[in-house]
Amino acid sequence: MQLLIKQSRWTMLLFAALLLTSCAAHANDEIVVSAAASLTNPLTEIQAAFEADHPSVKVVFNFGGSGTLRKQIEQGAEVDLFLFASEKDYQALVEGNMVGLGGPLLLNRLVIITSESSGIAVWPEFLEQNRMLAIGTPEAVPAGTYAKVALERMGIWERLQDRIVYTKDVRQVLTLVKNDAVQAGIVYASDTAGEDQIMVLETVNPELHTPIRYFAGLTHHHAERAEAFYKYIWSEAALEIFRRHGFDTIFSDTGR
């Protein structure tokens, strides 16, 4: 009899614990979004606007290089929605049957930057000096991939080998340039929006690389609440935020 009472108590305690866990999960109604680091500023602004309209939902970002983020999803990371700066990484998830819904959302351009205090006025001046250039690691960071291809087609990739610093994402390129740790860097045009410590030396000829397109997608196992945020990033309100941060948009919310 005592054994039955103890079992009953344990059952009630277990049920109560499960109920509390369920309530806590519901209270922390999160959407997990993996996004290219170059989208940090516009997505932070979009997050604030979305959460103001959906106070019961919390958007949690994981920013990084698109290649790294794609590998995390392939390895089972619990991600509801992603935004990549790479068609290759997007297509890899599509081919792996990991995308429920998605497509191209934004366009960007490459620029070569320096700090205002570097003393460098033009790109040819940098090339003539023994100064350092930062780019994203080509194997993991799309901006670095585009940069490598462009430098190869300029015929100067081999010449710069001893002068290149590789980074984990474009935000780190910006930091190195602003801190004068390197004298030049290659980032997206959108990364320069609102930055007052850097100057653009040159816009990279877009014919030197494939078009820079950003893709958004819902994973197959996404939480239902993530669909609202996915729809929101295609809305005119969100697209206007992207444009204000230096991106070109492929669609309008009425033209998809």
Give the CATH number of the domain where residue 225 resides.
3.40.190.10
28 pLDDT band, cuts 50/70/90, is low
Question: Are 150 and 26 contained in the same domain?
Answer: no
Cα distances from 120 to residues 148, 175, 189, 192, in angstroms, run 22, 17, 19, 17
Is 241 inside any structural domain? yes
Residue 103 lies in a domain: yes
Per residue in 41-69, pLDDT tens? 999 999 999 999 999 999 999 999 899 99
Per-position DSSP letters for 141-202, written without gaps between them? -HHHHHHHHHHHHHT-TGGGGGGEEEESSHHHHHHHHHTTSSSEEEEEGGGGTT-SSEEEEE
Q: 62 and 115 in one domain?
A: no
User: What are the tens digits of pLDDT across the range 83-121?
Assistant: 999 999 999 999 999 999 999 999 999 999 999 999 999
Residue 21 has pLDDT above 60, yes or no: no
User: Is residue 254 situated within a structural domain?
Assistant: no
15/219: higher pLDDT: 219
Among residues 50, 91, 40, the alpha carbon closest in space to that of 227 is found at 50
Query: Is residue 220 assigned to a domain?
Result: yes
Total domains in the chain come to 2
The least confident of 1-15, 75-89, 207-221 is 1-15
Residue 42 lies in a domain: yes
Host domain of residue 19: 2-107+213-249
How many whole angstroms from its chain centre is CA 57?
A: 21
Summarised one tens digit per residue, pLDDT across range 160-216 is: 999 999 999 889 999 999 999 999 999 999 999 888 899 999 999 999 999 999 999
pTM: 0.75
Among candidate residues 113, 83, 137, the one with its CA nearest the CA of residue 186: 113
131-154 residue pLDDT tens: 999 999 999 888 999 999 999 999
DSSP states of 225-238: THHHHHHHHTSHHH
208 located within any domain: no
Residue 256 lies inside a defined structural domain of this protein: no
Same domain, 174 and 135: yes
Q: Is 172 exposed, middle or buried (0-12, 13-18, 19+ CB in 10 A)?
A: buried
- Residue 254 pLDDT: 39
Position with higher pLDDT, 17 vs 173: 173
Q: Do 146 and 191 fall within a single domain?
A: yes
